[in-house]
Amino acid sequence: MRCPETDNQELLVAYGAGRLGSRETAKLEAHLAECEACRVACAAQATVWKALDGWEAEPLASDFDARLLARIASEEQPGWRRRWREWLRAVAARPAVPAFAALFMVVAGFWLLPRGAPPEPRADAALVREIEIIEATLDDLEMVKELSGGDRGEGARSL
């Protein structure tokens, strides 16, 4: 076989990532037994891989979805807040939906989906908390819009 260290890096990287088939693995390991340069490269690649494995990402802010939904909602229909507040007085959500789906129905789906019977009231602390976050985010967004003369999100539509 060609020496992967000089001629076929792809093989060494795939081996280090454990993404090599069993036949290719066997072939490469046979080569490794005879090739010092490749053994060194493989060991170094394994070190890189393990190091990267150990780099954990940070946990997400718990209001990520609420903030996103508030932004979507504020784009969807500018006049929706009043109606939403009215609806909020009867704080409710459809039962047995994951918190996110419930939230989404509340925030984005409220005025878009055909309105059927009012949903059953449900006491759900997490949902209430999320709704508070959405309220706060909306206040922030409105404040930012006022401060910046409504030019927030410039370039955002350019993709």
Partner 1 sequence: MKTGVQQTVVGVAALEHDAQLMLRVREGDQASFGLLLEKYRAPVVHFLYRMVQNQAVAEELAQEVFLRVYRSRTSYEPAARFTTWLFRIATHLALNWLRDGKHERLQERLDEEGEGQTVRRDVPDRRPSAEQILLKRVRRDEIRAAIAALPAKQRAAVLMHKYQEMDYAQIAGALGCSESAVKSLLFRAYETLRARLRRLA
Chain residues that interact with partner 1, rule: CB under 8 A = 9-10, 13, 17, 41, 43-45, 47-52, 54-65, 67-68, 71-72, 75, 98, 100-101, 104-105, 108-109, 112-113, 156-157, 159
- Asked whether the beta carbons of 91 and 158 are under 8 A apart, the reply is no
- Interface residue list for Zn ion (CB under 5 A): 3, 5, 35, 38
CB of 8 to Zn ion, least distance (A): 9
CB of 37 to partner 1, least distance (A): 13
Residue 121 or 153 having the CB closest to partner 1 = 153
CB of 48 to partner 1, least distance (A): 5
Picked from Zn ion, partner 1, none, the partner binding residue 38 (CB below 5 to 8 A depending on kind) is Zn ion
Name the 3-class secondary structure at 35.
coil
Picked from Zn ion, partner 1, none, the partner binding residue 65 (CB below 5 to 8 A depending on kind) is partner 1
Sign of CA dihedral 44, 49, 54, 60: positive
Considering only CA atoms, which of 65, 141, 74 is closest in space to residue 103?
Answer: 65
- Taking residue 156's Cβ as centre, other Cβ atoms within 10 Å add up to 9
Which residues, other chains included, contact 131 with Cβ-Cβ below 8 Å and sequence gap of 6+?
A: 88, 91, 103, 106
Residue 125 CA to residue 88 CA, distance in Å, equals 14
Picked from Zn ion, partner 1, none, the partner binding residue 5 (CB below 5 to 8 A depending on kind) is Zn ion
The two tokens of residue 129 are 């908390």
CB of 77 to partner 1, least distance (A): 13
